[in-house]
Amino acid sequence: MKKTTNKQRDSSMRAEYDFSNGVRGKYAKRFKEGTNIVVLAPEVAGIFPDSAAVNEALMALVQIAKRRPKAK
């Protein structure tokens, strides 16, 4: 197996990409902690103009759920 040189690796990188000041693992801890991304169905996403509207609707549902007596 032949070892690739830096020149060979760099030849596939576009000129506009510059990672010379990059920090390896900068966001690794945050990524490891998890994420709260929710993917909406396209028909649901089409109803809301932005994430603030989605959050507002969900908070309204939370308030309704809190007022409703719990089922036995």
Query: How far is it, in rounded angstroms, from Cα 8 to Cα 45?
Result: 44
Tens digits of residue pLDDT in 6-64 = 555 556 778 888 888 999 999 988 888 887 888 999 999 999 999 999 999 999 999 99
Closest CA to 54 of 40, 66, 65: 40
Does residue 12 form part of some domain?
no
Q: Residue 5: pLDDT band by 50, 70, 90 thresholds?
A: low
Domain that holds residue 63: 39-72
pTM: 0.49
Helix, strand or coil for residue 68? coil
